Amino acid sequence: MSEELGVTTKMKDNFSKWYLEVVRKGNFIDQRSPVKGCDVITPWGYAIWEKIRDVFDCQIKKNNVKNAYFPLLIPERFLKKEEEHFAGFKAETLMATEVGGEKLEEKLAIRPTSETIMYYMYALWIRSYKDLPLLINQWNNIVRWDTKVTKPFIRGREFLWQEGHTAHATKEDAEKWVETTLKMYNAAYDALALDKLLLKRPKFDTFAGADYSAVFDTVTQDDKIVQGPGTHMLGQNFSKPFDVKFLDKNGKKQYVWQTSWGMSTRQIGILIMHHGDDKGAVLPPAVAPQQVVIVPILFKGKEKIVLNKADEVKNNLEKIGIRVFLDNRNYSAGFKFNEWELKGVPLRIEIGPKDVEGKEITYARRLDGKKGKIKLSELKKVRELLDNIQKEMHEKSKKFTKGSIQTVSSMNELKNVKAVARTNWCGSSECHDNIKFESKGFEIRGTLYEKEERPFGHCIHCGKDAKHVVYLARAY
């Protein structure tokens, strides 16, 4: 293991370089894969994904969603059945064309998303209103041959995600399900201690084939936006071309109404870019693979007594449900401090000879470096510490997000916006294109989903009557 473990780049000096140092040196990901954009998620990074997955899987099962798995390979003709959908993914779809040197009779797409293959099966499964709602999720990998492979986790060619796909008897039922998915993603964002902008995408940026899309956008510390989970009201745009019908209570054939929704390993990158600091990642306790690391402070002749006490503390913390790692590796304490700070472990416990004598432990919070002591007889206070860290991180995130939004009324004012602009828009895609060009990257992310805001002036670009209050930002 390299002794040059710490982050050498300050976030404010070069955010991109800082981020790459954190994910690489912190061993979240290894980009030395032979295929660019198809990275190796290392055990530490994958363990975070497992925690995110556990939180969300619990949510979907509470709402009677069943997990299943559908094929990786999708016949090209399936993608072409819904032309708008196919057009949205065509440029990024990797196709298999031969096997054993022989051409395939039909090109097979390597899953860019699963609507088409799943709805082919839904048409076979759904017969009656009694079969509805059909609520299915799958955890899988996705390949999208993105030409802008800029940041690991944030933009890659292969990633992991969950994708849920539902079928309903009525439009109202499908729209109620959209609300349910947003509540489930809220629970996941609570675990991640993340605030979000929940936005309804403008039509030109709606998921391909959807009536509308609601998406969690997260502000990062370089004043940009990253898209997180999204849910899409598909209407009957897929059920008609895939002939997904059911007999209603009156014996009449109807097309189902559908939704799709997903969250990916991009969340790991969002987590780091939103919560991190100059020392590395800062993980909220709810999704940290190890919530506590114990570092023994060893002195000659006192090694055994310290290690025994450290092991005892570890066992007692595990008994109260805390994920804890005893780091008794043959490295200096300083090296261990740096490594676990880089990885973002929420709480470090130090145990040295004086701590053993005093029947106490010394702790340091990753969030702010604050230190303190806890009596060995009061180890349950460690749980309180972790709960407080989770709450404080969430409150800090809310404050940061709110403080990132500036209300502006003109293109001139937009020039002074650092992160997110709140402004008026006439609804013209031409105006949006001009805004993006003239502002060097600020694009319309959408309108608030949960609250309809009335325009407070004219369109920021053309000066005509505004139809929407929108949020603009530079995005990854």
pLDDT one digit per residue (tens) for the chain, 476 residues: 444 668 999 999 999 999 999 999 999 999 999 999 999 999 999 999 999 999 999 999 999 999 999 999 999 999 888 777 667 778 899 999 999 999 999 999 999 999 999 999 999 999 999 999 999 999 999 999 987 877 999 999 999 999 999 999 999 999 999 999 999 999 999 999 999 999 999 999 999 889 999 999 999 999 999 999 999 999 999 999 999 999 999 999 999 999 999 999 999 999 999 999 999 999 999 999 999 999 999 998 888 999 999 999 999 999 999 999 999 999 999 999 999 999 999 999 999 999 999 999 999 999 999 999 999 999 999 999 999 999 999 999 999 999 999 999 999 999 999 999 999 999 999 999 999 999 999 999 999 999 999 999 999 999 999 999 999 999 99
| Antiparallel, parallel or unpaired: β 197-200 and 158-168 | unpaired
Looking at the fold, whether 207 and 356 belong to one and the same domain comes out as no
Residue 148 lies in a domain: yes
What is the Cα 278 distance to its own chain's centre? Answer: 22
Looking at the fold, whether 31 and 123 belong to one and the same domain comes out as yes
Looking at the fold, whether 117 and 187 belong to one and the same domain comes out as yes
User: 321 lies in which domain range?
Assistant: 292-385
Residue 162 lies in a domain: yes
Residue 281 lies in a domain: no
Total domains, the chain? 3
Write b or e for each residue in 126-165: b if 16 or more Cβ atoms lie within 10 A of its Cβ, otherwise e: beebeebbbbbbbeeebbbeeeebebbbbbbbbbbbbbbb
| Antiparallel, parallel or unpaired: β 292-296 and 257-264 | unpaired
Looking at the fold, whether 375 and 412 belong to one and the same domain comes out as no
Residue 79 lies in a domain: yes
Looking at the fold, whether 189 and 311 belong to one and the same domain comes out as no
Looking at the fold, whether 309 and 248 belong to one and the same domain comes out as no
Looking at the fold, whether 186 and 321 belong to one and the same domain comes out as no
Looking at the fold, whether 216 and 298 belong to one and the same domain comes out as no
* Residues found in the chain: 476
Contact 132, 246 (CB under 8 A): yes
Looking at the fold, whether 228 and 299 belong to one and the same domain comes out as no
Residue 3 lies in a domain: no
Task: List the strands of the sheet with 347-351, edge to edge.
Answer: 324-326, 292-296, 347-351, 360-365, 371-375
The span from the CA of 366 to the CA of 368, in Å, is 6
What's the mean per-residue pLDDT of the chain? Answer: 95
Residue 450 lies in a domain: yes
Contact 393, 284 (CB under 8 A): yes
> pTM here?
0.95
pLDDT the model gives residue 467:
97
The span from the CA of 327 to the CA of 307, in Å, is 10
Looking at the fold, whether 435 and 372 belong to one and the same domain comes out as no
CATH number at residue 170: 3.30.930.10
Looking at the fold, whether 75 and 116 belong to one and the same domain comes out as yes
Half-sphere exposure of 464 (CA within 13 A, CB side): 9
